[in-house]
Amino acid sequence: MTTTTPGLVCAHHHLYSELARGMPPPPKVATDFQEILEQVWWRLDRALDLDMLYASARLGALEALESGTTAIVDHNESPNAIEGSLSVLADACAEVGVRLLTAYGISDRNGPDQVKRGLAENERFIKAGGKALVGIHAAFTCTDESLEAAAGLARDLGVGVHIHVCEGIGDIDAPKRLEGLTEDNWLISHCVHLPTDHNLKGTILHNPRSNLNNGVGYANPARFSNPVALGTDGIGANMIESFRLAYVMQRSVDVTVGPDPAWSWLAEGWNIVPEAKNDEVTWSYDPMDPWHIAFTPGIYPLEVKVDGEVVFADGKPTRVDGEEIRAKAREQAKRLHAKL
């Protein structure tokens, strides 16, 4: 191992959530995961417009570079700003210099018309050459007809599906409802309450920090035969931090385990966005070995190259003004928070 690695991949992100920081408290204190969705995230996503989405994505992309992450696998939901949303996200990330594999997550929680519009947005973006999967929020917020429509569209377009599965106990029926629909190119996120013996195909996306934050439990992804990759579920894109947390969480249930399995989950991101292996991150620490990284705080990138271009150096992005991005994000966060 050396001081350099390929660009890291955040395999599950919600760039639309970057502006949530400092948002007003919900009308009532959420006491379970369903209430967290209803009181926090579903109120926030309904308030988003395209200007907010653009500012949020630029901030998320900037913070990704600042942590050595050059590729983001995003799952967007902005039910009152659907049309054009995936292009806005892609443009924002490209401006900063970060790779994006996006998706619009359909859901029947806002009515069947928004399912049709969400599917159309996925289809429009992919047919225009955009890099994306077809998105589904989760089985528990979709009808069987919507799940089948999304799976069918993905097959027709030759792409996978990005979906949340069994994140909370309210989605416990997901394996039965998705049976026969999933393919190896699907990304199934969280899987906290997914039975070990299940019939779902695809890569499991492990988000330990988010699962702890939402009080839904520990997925213990080592129990699955599926490939496993690491994400953040919208809490930044620092994958070194996510790797460390994934390691100690696994260690908490198996004291015999070392950091290598958690590192393999981080490395699985390169199978989802293989282009990131062409990127190069020079780190502040040597060697960048799992057994060192797991116990060494404060590691940060010195330089980031994407496709040979230096996009981050001397603590700053090279394509954009980081302070301007943060200032615009504060402006749009103020607008967003005023609507909540």
Taking the C-alpha atoms of residue 283 and residue 270, their distance in angstroms, rounded to an integer, is: 18
pLDDT of residue 174: 98
- Per the document, the length of the chain is 340
Nearest Cα to Cα of residue 237 among 92, 78, 6, 62: 62
Q: Which domain holds residue 297?
A: 4-338
CB atoms within 10 A of CB 84: 14
pLDDT in tens, 122-136: 999 999 999 999 999
Task: State the DSSP H helix or E strand holding residue 273, giving kind and residue range, or none if neither.
Answer: none
How wide is the angle at C-alpha 289 spanned by C-alphas 287 and 295, nearest 5°? 95
- What CATH number has the domain bearing residue 205? 3.20.20.140
Taking the C-alpha atoms of residue 78 and residue 222, their distance in angstroms, rounded to an integer, is: 33
**Ranges of the chain with pLDDT below 70:** 1
CB 78 within 8 A of CB 16: yes
pLDDT in tens, 148-164: 999 999 999 999 999 99
pLDDT of residue 34: 97
The reported pTM is: 0.98
Task: State the DSSP H helix or E strand holding residue 334, giving kind and residue range, or none if neither.
Answer: helix 322-338
pLDDT of residue 339: 97
Nearest Cα to Cα of residue 170 among 37, 292, 286: 37
Taking the C-alpha atoms of residue 125 and residue 108, their distance in angstroms, rounded to an integer, is: 21
Q: Structurally, how many domains does the chain consist of? A: 1
Extract the tokens encoding 180. 């026969």
Taking the C-alpha atoms of residue 36 and residue 30, their distance in angstroms, rounded to an integer, is: 5
- Amino acid of residue 308: G
Taking the C-alpha atoms of residue 60 and residue 261, their distance in angstroms, rounded to an integer, is: 27
Provide the 3-class DSSP secondary structure of residue 164: strand
Nearest Cα to Cα of residue 48 among 16, 23, 22: 16
CB 206 within 8 A of CB 267: no
In angstroms, the Cα distances linking 101 to 22, 90, 327 are: 27, 8, 26
CB 115 within 8 A of CB 153: no
